[in-house]
Chain A
Amino acid sequence: MEVSAVRDPPLNARPLPLFTATATVALLALAAVLSSQTAQPASLTLLSREGRRPLPITLVADQEFVALDDLAAAFQLTVREEALGAITASYKGKTIVLTPDQALASVAGRLVSLPAPPSRGSARRWLVPVEFISRALALVYDGKLDLRKSSRLLIVGDMRVPRIAVRWDPLGASGRLTIDATPRAPSTVTQENDHLTVKFDADALDAPNPPLPAQGAQSLVLAVRLVDPTTIAVDLGPRFAGFKASSQPVDTTLRLVVDVLATQTDTAAAAPPPPPPPDVPPALSPPAFAIRTVAIDPGHGGADEGARGASGVREKDLTLAVARRAKAAIEARLGIRVLLTRDDDRTVPIDERPAIANNNKADLFISLHANASLRRTTVGTAIFCAEFDKDTAQAAAVGGTDRLPAFGGGSRDIELVLWDLAQTRHLGQSTTFAALLEQQLHDRVPLVARPVDHAPLRVLESANMPAVLVEMGYLTNADQEKLLAGDGFQNTLVQAIYDAIVRYRDAVAAGGGR
C-alpha cells in the first residue's frame, strides 16, 4: 500500500525526495552514457573447448572494462545488486563482493585490488576492469582462466595456446627463421609448392596477425601468415632452394629454427657448386645460447623527464645519449645486435620496454638511469637486479608444472611462468652479469657503498632474459651532474658495459653462464 502511494502520489503532494532521486539517477545514467562514449576497443576473445566467442571491452578513462552481465553469461555467475549497495557475483557458492566506489574486491573473504572501481556502463550495466577476470574470478572459477591482455585472449580451461613469436634473420644469401612457441608446443614443417606449412600440436595459437611483417620481394621469405587456428604458412621467394628445420627447448619455449637456403646465383665461369642438399645444416649456426642481441633501455623519455640536475641536465637525455654510444660501440666492435627500447625523445610505457626485449628475443637487458637523492652529497654508480618476495616467487610458479600430451604420443612436463614475473627464472644470471659489470666499473667510476642491490623494479620483472638496471650517477650532486653530462664519463661507462658484456659472453660460451 505504501509503495503504491509512493509510485502514484496524490496530486496535491510534492514528491520532492522522489523527484530528486529520480533526477539524480537520470543524471548519473546520462553521465555514465556520456563517459562510456569513448572509442570501443576490440573485444577479448574467449577461447574454450566450445570454440571462440567475443567478450566486448569498453574503454573508460583509458581503462579496459568488461560488462559483469557478459561475464555472468559466459561463466554462469549469479550477479545481484544487494540492498546494501554492493554488487555480488556468485559462482557455485563462492561470492565476489564489489563496492561501486572501491578499487577492491572481496573474493570469498579475501581482499584483492583492482586497477579501478566498478563503473556503470550504458543501459546501467555494471562494468568491471578486465583484471577482475584474473584477480577475482579466477580465484573462484573451477577451470583455469588465463587472461592474456596484450593479445586480448581469455583462455578457459586446459587449452594449449602457445604464444608464437616469429623472427627472420637474413644471413648472407641464406637466412634463418626462428619460431618460438611458449609454452612449448611441437610442430611439423612441410613444404608445399611455394610455401612451408608449420603445423603446431596445439588447440590454438596466440600470435600477431601477420606473425611477421611482409618482407621485400627479393627476400627468401616473403611473408608469414596464419592459415588456420593451429597452422602458419611461410611464403617463399623465387631463390628458395631448400630448408632444414630443427627444434630445441629454451626455458619454457620450444624454439623451431628453420634455416632457409638460397639457390646459387653466381654466373661466374667456374662451374657453380651444387646446391647444398636440404639435409645438410648450413654453417651459420652460432654456438647455442650465444649472445646475439642486447636490449638497452634508455630510462624515461617524452613527457617523463625522470630526475633533473640543478643545472638542468635531464635524466631522459642522459640515458639516451649513453644508450646510443653503447649501441655504436657494441655493434661495431662485437657484432652483437643492439636494440634500443627508444631511439628518440618519446614516452615508452614501462611495461613496453621489457616487452620489446622479449619480442626480439634479446639475450641481455640493460636499463639505463640516473639517480637522485634528497642529500646533495650522495654520489656513485649503482646496479640493480630485480627482487621478488617469497609469495610472489611462489606465484611465479603458479601452474608450475603441467603435463601435456607430447607430439608422437605420451606426455611430458612443461613449466609455466606468469609473464609479468618472467625475470624470476633469470635472477641468478642477472646477478652474475651485475657482478661482472661491478668489476668493470670498480676502478673507473665512483660506486655507492653497496654497488649491486636488489629491488622490485618493474622494468626488470617481466624481462625474460638476464636483466639489470644501471644507475649511472647522481644528478642531485653538482659535481656528478657535470661529470655525467661529459663525453669522458659517458665513454668510460660504455667501455665498462662493453667489457662486462664480453666477459659475460665468454662465461656463457664456456657453459658457466647458464
Chain B
Amino acid sequence: MAKRALAIGGLLVAVLALGYAMFVALPRWTSRAATQRAGTVAPASVPAPPGRKINARLFYVAEDGTRLTSVERDVPYGEGVVEQAREIIAAQIAPVVEPLVSAVPRGTTLRAVFVADGGEAYVDLSREVVTAHPGGTLNELLTIYTLVDALTANLPAITSVQLLVDGKEVETLAGHVDLRRPLAKNLAWVQ
C-alpha cells in the first residue's frame, strides 16, 4: 500500500514538474529568446561596472532658444552599444537645473532601446514626451534632435534614431515632425 502511495506521489510530483516546465518556465524562456531574436534589446537595467564613466556630448536648448548647444558630461559606462545608448539617453533626459534647459519634457522616462543591425536605434520613451510637450515646431525639432544627436554624435555605430512612444510608432510628438522613419544625425540644429 505504502509502495502504491509512493508511486502515486512520485507521479504527482512528476506531473507538477512537467506542468511547471511546460506552462511557466518554457514560455518565459522562449519569449526572452524570441525578443532577442527580433533585435538587440536592452533589458530593463543591466548595471554598469560601478564607477566607470565615459565622456559624452549631451544637448540642451541654446541661449537664443532656436538651436541646441552641446555640453560634455560624464555618463556611466555601458557594456556594448545598446547598453551605452541606454546610459546616454538616461543621462540626456535626466532633469537639469538652470542655466541648462532640456528640450525633453520633464517626466519623460526611457522604456527601452533597440539597435538594429543596420545601425538604426529605436528609442522607446514614456508618453510624457508627448503629453507634457509644450508644442511648437521648433520645440519639437529640438526635442527630437536632442535625442537623435545624443546617440549619433556619441556612438558611431548608431547612424539613425527612431523614437517610439509607449512601445509604438507615433506620427509626431506635437503635430509637426515626421517620426515614421529613423532620423539621421543633424548637427545643423546645434550651434
Name the residue on B nearest A98 (C-beta): B38
**Bound: A110/B33 CA distance, A:** 17
A84 touches B169 (CB 8 A): no
Closest chain-B Cβ to A108's Cβ sits at a distance in Å of 11
A2 touches B18 (CB 8 A): yes
One of A263-271, A408-416, A456-464 at the interface: A456-464
**Bound: A114/B162 CA distance, A:** 12
- Which of chain B's residues have a CB closer than 8 A to the CB of A448? 66
- Which of chain A's residues have a CB closer than 8 A to the CB of B175? 299-300, 304, 306, 350
Give chain B interface residues in 1-50, CB to chain A under 8 Å: 8, 11-12, 14-16, 18-20, 22-24, 27, 30-31, 33-35, 37-39
One of B70-78, B82-90, B117-125 at the interface: B117-125
B61 touches A374 (CB 8 A): yes
> A6 on the interface (CB 8 Å rule)?
yes
Interface string of A5-32 (1 = CB under 8 A from B): 1100110111111101100000000000
A377 touches B177 (CB 8 A): no
Name the residue on B nearest A63 (C-beta): B168
> A455 on the interface (CB 8 Å rule)?
yes
Q: Which of B38, B136, B164 has a CB less than 8 Å from the CB of A371?
A: B136
Known A-B contacts A2-B14, A15-B15, A389-B184; the reply to A315 vs B135 at CB < 8 A is yes
**Bound: A93/B120 CA distance, A:** 25
Closest chain-B Cβ to A85's Cβ sits at a distance in Å of 4
**Bound: A16/B114 CA distance, A:** 37
> B147 on the interface (CB 8 Å rule)?
no
Closest chain-A Cβ to B126's Cβ sits at a distance in Å of 16
Give chain A interface residues in 65-93, CB to chain B under 8 Å: 82-86
- Which of chain A's residues have a CB closer than 8 A to the CB of B180? 420, 458
> B79 on the interface (CB 8 Å rule)?
no
**Bound: A124/B86 CA distance, A:** 36
Closest chain-A Cβ to B43's Cβ sits at a distance in Å of 14
> A113 on the interface (CB 8 Å rule)?
yes
A456 touches B117 (CB 8 A): no
A457 touches B34 (CB 8 A): no
Closest chain-A Cβ to B69's Cβ sits at a distance in Å of 11
**Bound: A300/B118 CA distance, A:** 35
A6 touches B22 (CB 8 A): yes
Known A-B contacts A6-B19, A113-B162; the reply to A97 vs B117 at CB < 8 A is no
Name the residue on B nearest A116 (C-beta): B168
A84 touches B30 (CB 8 A): yes
Name the residue on B nearest A387 (C-beta): B186
Q: Which of A6, A115, A307 has a CB less than 8 Å from the CB of B18?
A: A6
**Bound: A9/B171 CA distance, A:** 52
Interface string of B142-178 (1 = CB under 8 A from A): 1000000000000000001010100111011011111
Q: Which of A10, A99, A114, A476 has a CB less than 8 Å from the CB of B169?
A: A114
Q: Supply 22 A–B pairs (Cβ within 8 Å), ascending by A.
A: A10-B15, A18-B23, A20-B23, A84-B37, A86-B37, A98-B38, A99-B35, A99-B37, A100-B31, A103-B168, A104-B39, A104-B122, A113-B164, A306-B136, A315-B136, A372-B136, A373-B136, A374-B101, A384-B137, A392-B181, A456-B177, A458-B180
- B residues with a Cβ closer than 8 A to A are 8, 11-12, 14-16, 18-20, 22-24, 27, 30-31, 33-35, 37-39, 61, 63-66, 101, 103, 114, 116-118, 120, 122, 134-139, 141-142, 160, 162, 164, 167-169, 171-172, 174-178, 180-181, 183-184
- A residues with a Cβ closer than 8 A to B are 2, 5-6, 9-10, 12-18, 20-21, 82-86, 97-106, 109-111, 113-117, 299-300, 304-308, 315, 350-351, 369-375, 377-378, 380, 382, 384, 389, 391-392, 420, 448-450, 455-459, 461, 469, 471, 474-476
